[in-house]
Amino acid sequence: MVVAASAVVVVASAAGTMTALGEDGADDRRAARHDAPRTDPSAAGSAGSPLPSPSVSSATPSGSPSPSASPSPSATRKPRAAAPARLYHHPESQVLDWVRDHPDDPRRAVVESRIASRPAAVWFADYAPETLTSRVRAVTSGAAAQGRVPVLVAYAIPDRDCGGASEGGAPDLDAYAGWIDRFAAGLGSRETIVILEPDSIAQTGCLSADRRDARLAALARAGRVLRAANPKARVYYDAGHSHWNSPAHQAALLRQAGAASSAGVFSNVSNFRRTADEIVYDRQVLDLLGGPPGLGAVVDTSRNGNGAPADGEWCDPDGRTIGRAPTLDTGEPRIDGYLWVKLPGESDGCKGAAGEFSPAYAYELASSS
């Protein structure tokens, strides 16, 4: 089976934050499980404590597109202008907590400079609607005060991870609609990036046809609600990764989920696929998706510095490194950003509890690059 990409475990009821640094160009860590049986992280991190980013869980195998030697038509289009603001570095995360609490640890300097100092996504993966709006608003207002762009991950779709390691989410789609309404209410009015439900589209193979259609309709509604609440919100939809579903199959699902009316797609969340492969794949998906020429893609480069393991291992595999640093200025047509969605050092469940920060794992990723 092809492993899904996100494996996050909910660690707290507040909005989870992840800060990371990446400078290596190869990205391979988005979903720790896209090449293995896929498990969705139960997002660990929340308001006060950062939610761990997802790892990959398994999905139906998909033919991975072979990278084309020549650029796709989209590659010739004029790149979108670089965002005027820098990415927001949220002051709360598991790695920052560890750095503050271990001033004398010999690994501290490397972990702090190469991971903790970098902007990363903030996960909202627990179903706690009563506090959701205030937690989202705390992040967006903090970013607005600094004139920077926050990256938020909405991760509460029902049947999340198809019952895998990251199972959880809202109890049903009606509850999910209310959760999204509350999430949207905290978005403010400034530029914000929303990573909408990692693995939710690429992993629909585990659902019956009726449940799949209902999920895609719920995601289409979610995109409309988020954009209506904040027209400057850039909502990106799940494109899986380059070794999961074929571009044509993924584009068809994305179209049904309303992605052609969004900012575009994201790929490689919590996985380890190389950035170059993701760029080729994402452009193929965007070409097949259709929609306005401004649609773009963002790639999770948090752990893909050495690419994916040859054996397809998805759970905290050895020999991985952090990837390219987070940025909204990639220099690549239709690639809007390299983001750290999965925070390096947050375990997929093998070098620590799923979603929890492992200083040993973080040091391995940071010192190997």
Positions marked active-site: 161, 199, 348
Distance (Å, whole) CA 46 – CA 134: 12
Distance (Å, whole) CA 7 – CA 166: 6
Distance (Å, whole) CA 340 – CA 366: 14
Question: For the residues of 124-167, what is the DSSP string, one character each?
Answer: E-S--HHHHHHHHHHHHHHHHHHT-B-EEEE---TTGGGGSTT-
The tokens describing 46, both together, are 């929340």
> Which residues fall within 8 angstroms of residue 357, CB to CB, at 6 or more apart?
52, 94, 95, 97, 98, 343, 345, 346, 347
**Which amino acid does the sequence have at 125?**
A
Instruction: Name the residue with tokens 């403010």.
Output: 188
Distance (Å, whole) CA 354 – CA 330: 31
Distance (Å, whole) CA 349 – CA 165: 8
Distance (Å, whole) CA 308 – CA 244: 13
Q: Would you call 270 helix, strand, or coil by DSSP? A: coil
